[in-house]
Amino acid sequence: MFLGEEPIHIKVERKEDIAPIVLMPGDPLRAKYIADVFLSNAKLVTSVRNMLGFTGEYKGHKVTVMASGMGMPSMMIYAFELFHYFNVQKIIRIGTCGAVAEEAKINEIILSDSVYTESNFAYTFNEYKDHVVYADSKLNANILESASALGMDTRVHKGMLTTMDVFGPYIDYDRVLERIPKEYKILGEEMEAFALIHVANSFHRSATAMATVVDSKFSDIVLSIEERQESLNDMIRLALESIIK
């Protein structure tokens, strides 16, 4: 294994520029949006390959918002470097997903208590042979408590996500869902959560994933840009309130 003294994909002036608690959207521009709108004294701390990371304050707590890019390989790179080189303790992924269960409606939030994948990602990473990983229960409890305090509890569905190696809307993902063992109740599909949680568990750190439902196989609703942003704002606020606890 090659591990240099410095990370390859995150470059900061000082290691203290990365906070011990991190929100991870996929999109670098969403990271910038979160920093601009929700954090005070926010500063761009890393921009290698335009994968932007910002550190600022939320209610007096130092928080980093670091983009992950798309897919498990990209998520693995940034999660690994945050845990290994910067001793990050908690990460919440905040992203979007497609609902594959009728109870998860457009604009609602799926909170992962577990994530299934048929990928060999974890076996390649460290010979973990199972296809399910489990999110941090304490972090999830904080999220549910915060959701109740914010009046969002009816919009949050805790359950299983599935992480896919391909973008679901571009394939017939029903055939993939059919292959998932029947004892697993999948609420939504996305592309990064399994990698984050597996890397976190491997480092004995805390991580979970939240995803706003932006499309559903049970709905023809197409959100406007404004509607999508409002829903994402609710998830961002929920994540920030939860991670500082």
- CB of 53 within 8 A of CB of 45? yes
Span 17-26, average pLDDT: 98
Residue 189 resides in a domain: yes
User: What local confidence, expressed as pLDDT, does residue 62 receive?
Assistant: 98
What is the pLDDT at residue 68? 98
- For the chain, the domain total comes to 1
Q: Is 215 a catalytic residue?
A: yes
CATH number (domain holding residue 214): 3.40.50.1580
Residues spanned by the domain of 171: 16-243
- pLDDT confidence of residue 1: 63
**Are the C-beta atoms of residues 103 and 222 closer than 8 Å to each other?**
no
**Does 1 map to a domain?**
no
3 state SS of 116: strand
Q: CA-to-CA distance for 163 and 95, rounded, in angstroms?
A: 12
DSSP secondary structure string for all residues of 176-200: HHHHS-TT--EEEEESSHHHHHHHH
Per-residue pLDDT, 226: 75
Residue-level pLDDT at 230:
77
Give the pLDDT of residue 199.
98
Q: Which of 5-14, 202-211, 229-238 has the lowest mean pLDDT?
A: 229-238
In a domain, 7, yes or no: no
Question: Given a cut of 80, is residue 208 above it in pLDDT?
Answer: yes
Look at residue 8 and tell me if it is in a domain: no
Which residue out of 17, 136, 215, 234 is catalytically annotated? 215
Query: Region 145-153: what's the mean pLDDT?
Result: 97
Q: Is residue 94 part of a domain?
A: yes
Question: Whole-number mean pLDDT of the chain?
Answer: 95
Q: Which residues contact 201 (CB under 8 A, 6 or more apart)?
A: 133, 134, 207
Structural domain contains residue 11: no
- d(C-alpha 243, C-alpha 152), whole Å: 16
Strands (E), 7-155: 21-24, 40-46, 53-58, 61-66, 90-99, 109-116, 132-134
Residue 223 has pLDDT above 80, yes or no: no
Q: Is residue 2 part of a domain?
A: no
The full DSSP string for 97-114 is EEE-STTS-TT-EEEEEE
Which residues lie across from 189 on neighbouring strands? 98, 162
User: Does residue 85 fall inside a structural domain?
Assistant: yes
Secondary structure of 125-139 in the HEC alphabet? HHCCCCCEEECCHHH
The better pLDDT of the pair 228, 174 is held by 174
- Predicted confidence (pLDDT) per residue in 40-97, tens digit: 999 999 999 999 999 999 999 999 999 999 999 999 999 999 999 999 999 999 999 9
